[in-house]
């Protein structure tokens, strides 16, 4: 164990249970071990072979393969924590990470939840309520309904004032799921009932709210860290390259943003986080309309985010370590003036999907794996040669992160690394990502949240794409 200058680097946390899987479970275990914390990894029946279970000090099975029988069951997780003598739980992202009841249950069981309190989550994790909190804090929101919409009639009336096209959003949605576009009253009428039923089935909450659709906007989000009293920001990330409203390429800092707008965005995020006395790591997401120089709050994610490494690369701060330290009772050790940006970082999400089959997730066994190296590169993954990807969970295989002094250099480094990376046995999005590094609009930073789908529709997805990854 390496020596720490701080004798209790993790405060009250000695044994941390990781209530997640995949690459983020690996990421959390690494941060915990560096802090001298023992780790316990939960896993479903399908996940006995996963890397995080091999790296953790201990492992414990929590149920059948389907997430709703394992990773999504608070009782199963808490029972595992009790049986293994854990004193804290890290929820990662997805699954129970933004479930306020789970946070409360964890605290009520006498354990530490690595994240904000259930109350903060109830205010900020529910997307419709978070809009209200933003309005109260004076942060601009997208024009839309004041909260959840009661029924079709109310939706139709409100839509007249909001204007079409508009989005129907599930208040409990996430990961790009639970969002529908309505272009006129007839569509709204059909979609409303459908969307509410789906939201009830998918998220256990039928709540739907409305937002005006902001075309050709950029997705810009601000990372915050709080200890319940002080809150700081770690500047912004841009995640405008999306497919089906899911990010696939993220950067820090944003590709091109006036300093004035950057400051206003970061200040707005801080005001919102301060208003709820935020504790832990969180992200305040905005849409930025370049033509109007206007930005709008869309949601806050009260957890660690998939794309957190790009912020780590440009600030030098380990966000997962910070969130564990804060949960362990430490005050925020960083001041706003300590946060400095150096260079540019880009993350590419590598998914087990077949671009030739409209990006259908394809599970399988990894045969060979070559991970690129060299300066300024990082690969966060749960892959190893021989690993069989189970079909039950999401398709993220890993995140390749490239850092360099400037954005053009970071893109070149990413292209070089994508060419070098070799994953065989499962189809991956590597060829698509490599093509993106060469796209003129991407190089110029002239993209918006609809750009990738327009670009994909405009090209025939044929051989060049599939061959592109082979040097």
How many CB atoms lie under 10 A from the CB of residue 470? 10
Q: Which does 203 bind (CB under 5 to 8 A by kind): ligand ADP, Mg ion, none?
A: ligand ADP
Is 93 among the residues that bind ligand ADP (CB under 6 A)? Answer: yes
- Identify which of 312, 254, 306, 316 has the alpha carbon closest to the alpha carbon of residue 447: 254
Query: What phi and psi values does residue 448 have, to the nearest 5 degrees?
Result: -140, 180
Residue among 50 and 469 whose Cβ is closer to ligand ADP: 50
Residue among 20 and 315 whose Cβ is closer to ligand ADP: 20
Q: Which does 305 bind (CB under 5 to 8 A by kind): ligand ADP, Mg ion, none?
A: ligand ADP
Residue nearest to ligand ADP (CB): 174
Q: Of 299, 322, 353, 380, which one interacts with ligand ADP (CB under 6 A)?
A: 299
Binding region for ligand ADP (CB under 6 A) out of 260-268, 298-306, 371-379, 384-392: 298-306
Is 173 among the residues that bind ligand ADP (CB under 6 A)? Answer: yes
Is 306 among the residues that bind ligand ADP (CB under 6 A)? Answer: yes
Query: What phi and psi values does residue 80 have, to the nearest 5 degrees?
Result: -65, -40
Query: For residues 371-410, which are near Mg ion according to CB under 5 A?
Result: none
The answer to whether 262 is a known catalytic residue is no
Query: For residues 260-289, which are near Mg ion according to CB under 5 A?
Result: 285
Shortest separation between residue 183's beta carbon and ligand ADP, angstroms: 13
Distance in angstroms between the alpha carbons of the first and the last residue of the chain: 41
Active-site residue, from 303, 325, 407, 413: 303
Q: How far apart are CA 231 and CA 390, in angstroms?
A: 39
SS3 69: helix
Shortest separation between residue 431's beta carbon and ligand ADP, angstroms: 21
Which residue carries 């066994």 as its tokens? 365
Binding mask 199-238 for ligand ADP (x = CB under 6 A): ----x-------x-xx--x-x-------------------
Shortest separation between residue 137's beta carbon and Mg ion, angstroms: 18
- Identify which of 235, 255, 150 has the alpha carbon closest to the alpha carbon of residue 193: 150
Shortest separation between residue 299's beta carbon and Mg ion, angstroms: 5
Distance of CA 347 to the CA centre of its chain: 12
CA atoms within 13 A on the CB side of 331: 5
Q: How far apart are CA 70 and CA 85, in angstroms?
A: 19
Distant-in-sequence, close-in-space partners of 172: CB < 8 Å, separation ≥ 6? 126, 127, 178, 199, 203, 204, 205, 207
| Exposure letters 358-380 (e unless 16+ CB within 10 A, then b) | ebebbeeebeebeebeeebbbbb
Q: Which does 23 bind (CB under 5 to 8 A by kind): ligand ADP, Mg ion, none?
A: none
Q: Which does 164 bind (CB under 5 to 8 A by kind): ligand ADP, Mg ion, none?
A: none
Cis preceding linkage at 253, omega within 30: yes
R_g of the chain, CA atoms, integer Å: 22
Query: For residues 350-369, which are near Mg ion according to CB under 5 A?
Result: none
Is 427 among the residues that bind ligand ADP (CB under 6 A)? Answer: no
Q: Which residues here bind ligand ADP, judged by CB under 6 A?
A: 93-94, 142, 167, 172-176, 179, 203, 211, 213-214, 217, 219, 242, 245-247, 285, 287, 298-299, 301, 305-307, 394, 449
- Name the residues annotated as catalytic: 303
Q: Which residues here bind Mg ion, judged by CB under 5 A?
A: 285
């Amino acid at each position: 164990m390496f020596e720490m200058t701080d004798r209790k680097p993790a405060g009250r946390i000695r044994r941390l249970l990781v209530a997640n899987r995949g690459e983020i479970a690996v990421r959390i275990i690494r941060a915990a071990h560096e802090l001298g914390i023992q780790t316990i990894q939960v896993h479903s029946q399908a996940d006995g072979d996963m890397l995080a279970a091999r790296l953790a000090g201990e492992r414990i099975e929590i149920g059948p393969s389907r997430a709703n029988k394992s990773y999504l069951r608070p009782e199963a997780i808490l029972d595992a924590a009790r049986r293994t003598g854990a004193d804290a739980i890290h929820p990662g992202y997805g699954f129970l990470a933004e479930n306020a009841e789970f946070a409360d249950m964890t605290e009520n069981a006498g354990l530490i939840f690595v994240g904000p309190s259930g109350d903060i989550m109830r205010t900020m994790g529910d997307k419709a309520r978070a809009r209200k909190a933003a309005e109260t804090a004076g942060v601009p929101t997208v024009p839309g309904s004041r909260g959840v919409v009661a029924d079709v009639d109310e939706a139709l009336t409100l839509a007249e004032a909001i204007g079409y096209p508009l989005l129907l959003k599930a208040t409990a949605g996430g990961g790009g799921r639970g969002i529908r576009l309505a272009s006129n009253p007839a569509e709204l009428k059909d979609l409303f009932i459908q969307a509410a039923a789906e939201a009830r089935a998918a998220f256990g909450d039928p709540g739907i709210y409305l937002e005006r659709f902001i075309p050709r906007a950029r997705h810009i989000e601000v990372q915050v860290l709080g200890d319940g009293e002080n809150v700081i920001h770690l500047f912004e990330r841009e995640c405008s390259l999306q497919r089906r409203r899911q990010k696939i390429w993220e950067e820090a800092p944003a590709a091109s943003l006036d300093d004035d707008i950057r400051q206003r965005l970061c200040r707005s995020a801080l005001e919102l986080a301060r208003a709820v006395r935020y504790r832990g790591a969180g992200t305040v997401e905005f849409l930025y309309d370049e033509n109007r120089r206007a930005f709008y709050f869309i949601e806050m994610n009260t957890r660690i985010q998939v794309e957190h490494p790009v912020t780590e690369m440009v600030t030098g701060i380990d966000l997962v370590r910070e969130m564990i330290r804060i949960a362990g009772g430490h005050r925020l050790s960083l001041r706003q003036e300590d946060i400095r940006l150096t260079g540019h970082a880009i993350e590419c999400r590598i998914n087990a999907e077949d671009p030739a089959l409209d990006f259908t997730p394809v599970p399988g066994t990894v045969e060979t794996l070559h991970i690129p190296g060299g300066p300024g590169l990082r690969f966060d993954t749960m892959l190893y040669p021989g690993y069989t990807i189970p079909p039950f969970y999401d398709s993220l295989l890993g995140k390749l992160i490239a850092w360099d002094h400037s954005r053009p250099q970071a893109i070149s480094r990413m292209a070089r690394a994508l060419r070098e990376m070799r994953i065989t046995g499962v189809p991956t999005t590597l060829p698509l990502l490599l093509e993106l590094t060469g796209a003129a609009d991407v190089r110029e930073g002239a993209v918006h949240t609809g750009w990738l789908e327009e670009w994909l529709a405009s090209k025939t997805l044929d051989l060049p794409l599939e061959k592109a990854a082979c040097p």
